[in-house]
Structure 1
Amino acid sequence: MLGLVRAAARPTRLASSFARASASVHTLPKLDYAYDALEPHISGEIMTLHHSKHHQAYVTGLNTAEEQYAKTETPKDRIKLQAALKFNGGGHINHSLFWKNLAPESQGGGKLADGPLKKAIERDFGSVDKFKTKVNTATAAIQGSGWGWVGYNPETGKLEVVTTANQDPLLSHVPIIGIDIWEHSFYLQYKNVKADYLKAIWNVINFGEAEQRFVEATKSA
């Protein structure tokens, strides 16, 4: 998983992974918890559809696009495939990170322990509550579909809130926490009320995983 995070943060690595398309086949990652383990905050029905249908569709689309790319011989035909590679590749990267980004409350979901990540959040945002408010405000403001991110900026050495459209992966920062704001991630349960979904998801954010990403990012910066 941390390899996916690093790949998402470095455009050249993402591009090179596509170039090696003929040598690899992407698969749907298994979850570390049951589909209903995040209830009541994220329903089992949403998790089932989100993982087994939506993420699987990105995996299938990426494998198909990479297979076609490997067979093409002209720059024009390869350029035509860039949109499919970006959309499905980003969807696979983002969702693979997202599942690790979540944990049931019984497994520590929602609990931010004292440590490097909490200290950085308080330093860069003033408090944990202000941090959550800023993330939620930016994510809710996304027009259409996309992702809200907490990313580590190696240039500034700070945590920053960033958004990406559609399934674009976060390339400008190292992803620490990502929140899916596509309707398939919340609509069945929260209808059109994004704010309720964004408030609830913090109860199942895997801060332990986020801290591991943060620590690794700061070591390699």
Structure 2
Amino acid sequence: MKRNILLLTAVTSFLLFSCKNKEEMTEVQVPSATAKDSIPAKGDPKSVVANQGAFQMKGLNYGYNDLEPYMDGQTVETHYGKHHLGYCNKLNDAVKGTPLETMSIEEILKGMDLKNSALRNNAGGYYNHNIFWEILGPKAGGRPTGKVAELINKDFGSFDQFKTQFSDAAKGVFGSGWVWLVYQNDGTLKITTSINQDNPLMPNSEVKGYPLMNIDVWEHAYYLKYKNERPKYIENFWQLVDWSKVEYRLSLIK
């Protein structure tokens, strides 16, 4: 028995040492086996402020815990107050002292030098998350109405068919990325995906247009609550979509 305990201790120590020196492959730590399905947060989104610079955090229209039970408070707090804030601060660093400081985020993305990885990743991360938080809300979900509903029915056959196609695209993203509903220049809607923090405004996008909504399928968006069950996260995402916000984004197109 004593020999087995010594052997287990040695193996555990080796694994801890190995993990410490191995390059991290994901953005988040794997939660312990005792992690709860729903983890509340005690912070206030209003306290999240970017460093001084051209771009600032836009805030949330809800509290960290208000998206329960579909998205836990700690995930929202970490996602918004750490990941999103980090992209914002690094974007400000990337544009500081350059002509980009006076440009809008959309102008920066459309003229993106794809070889500039710092600008590409952080401008994309900042913009993508702005849309993600905007189109989510408590007591949301259901089906779209108005012009968005008309376009979805016209271009996808029905809302159910659109929802299936969008969900399947989210499940199929390999690694980290996003799924988008895009309004194209010809007036039609299209579902597209992007890797990492790329988006439909960038020059390399296969489907170009104005993003109406998106879903974040990076692990930091769901891992604390859903672990490796991305399909469950995607299924519950539909309970959080505020279609009035999607409709508002469509109304901004001239």
**Alignment check: 8 A CA contact 1:41 1:200 kept:** yes
Q: Any idea what SS the aligned residue of 1:204 has? A: coil
Determine the C-alpha separation between the residues in 1 that align with 2:82 and 2:246. 26
Q: Greater CA radius of gyration, 1 or 2?
A: 2
Q: Which residue of 2 aligns with 1:90?
A: 124
The answer to whether the aligner puts 1:165 opposite 2:195 as a matched pair is: yes
Determine the C-alpha separation between the residues in 2 that align with 1:152 and 1:25. 28
Q: Any idea what SS the aligned residue of 1:203 has? A: coil
The answer to whether the aligner puts 1:116 opposite 2:147 as a matched pair is: yes
1:72-221 equivalent positions in 2, closer than 5 A: 82-105=116-139, 109-155=140-186, 157-171=187-201, 172-217=208-253, 220=254
Determine the C-alpha separation between the residues in 2 that align with 1:92 and 1:194. 22
**Alignment check: 8 A CA contact 2:136 2:242 kept:** yes
TM-aligned CA deviation for residue 50 of structure 1: 0.2
Determine the C-alpha separation between the residues in 1 that align with 2:115 and 2:152. 39
Q: 1:83 to 1:133 in 2, by over 3 A?
A: same
Q: Which residue of 2 aligns with 1:28?
A: 57
Q: Any idea what SS the aligned residue of 2:239 has? A: helix
Q: Deviations over 1:96-117 (max 9, x none)?
A: 1111110101xxx113343111
Percent identical across equivalent pairs?
36
How many residue pairs were aligned?
A: 184
Higher relative contact order (CA 8 A, sep 6+): 1
Determine the C-alpha separation between the residues in 2 that align with 1:143 and 1:81. 22
Q: 1:69 to 1:83 in 2, by over 3 A?
A: farther
Determine the C-alpha separation between the residues in 1 that align with 2:200 and 2:216. 12
- Give, as a single letter, the amino acid of the residue that structure 2 aligns with 1:204: L
Gaps of 5+ in 1: 1-22, 71-78
Moved >4 Å (runs of 4+)? none
- Please report the TM-score for the alignment, with normalisation by the length of structure 1: 0.78
Q: Deviations over 1:156-203 (max 9, x none)?
A: x21110101101122111101110000000111111111111110010
Determine the C-alpha separation between the residues in 1 that align with 2:215 and 2:76. 14
Determine the C-alpha separation between the residues in 1 that align with 2:155 and 2:114. 41
**Alignment check: 8 A CA contact 2:166 2:179 kept:** yes
Determine the C-alpha separation between the residues in 2 that align with 1:82 and 1:162. 23
TM-aligned CA deviation for residue 29 of structure 1: 2.1
1:41-56 equivalent positions in 2, closer than 5 A: 41-56=70-85
TM-aligned CA deviation for residue 215 of structure 1: 3.0
| Richer in helix (by share) | 1
Q: 1:207 to 1:181 in 2, by over 3 A?
A: same
Q: How large is the RMSD of aligned CA atoms in angstroms?
A: 1.9
Q: Which residue of 2 aligns with 1:7?
A: none
TM-aligned CA deviation for residue 24 of structure 1: 5.0
- Give, as a single letter, the amino acid of the residue that structure 2 aligns with 1:103: G
Determine the C-alpha separation between the residues in 2 that align with 1:206 and 1:85. 30
Determine the C-alpha separation between the residues in 2 that align with 1:214 and 1:182. 25
Gaps of 5+ in 2: 1-51, 100-112, 202-207
- Give, as a single letter, the amino acid of the residue that structure 2 aligns with 1:125: F
- Please report the TM-score for the alignment, with normalisation by the length of structure 2: 0.68
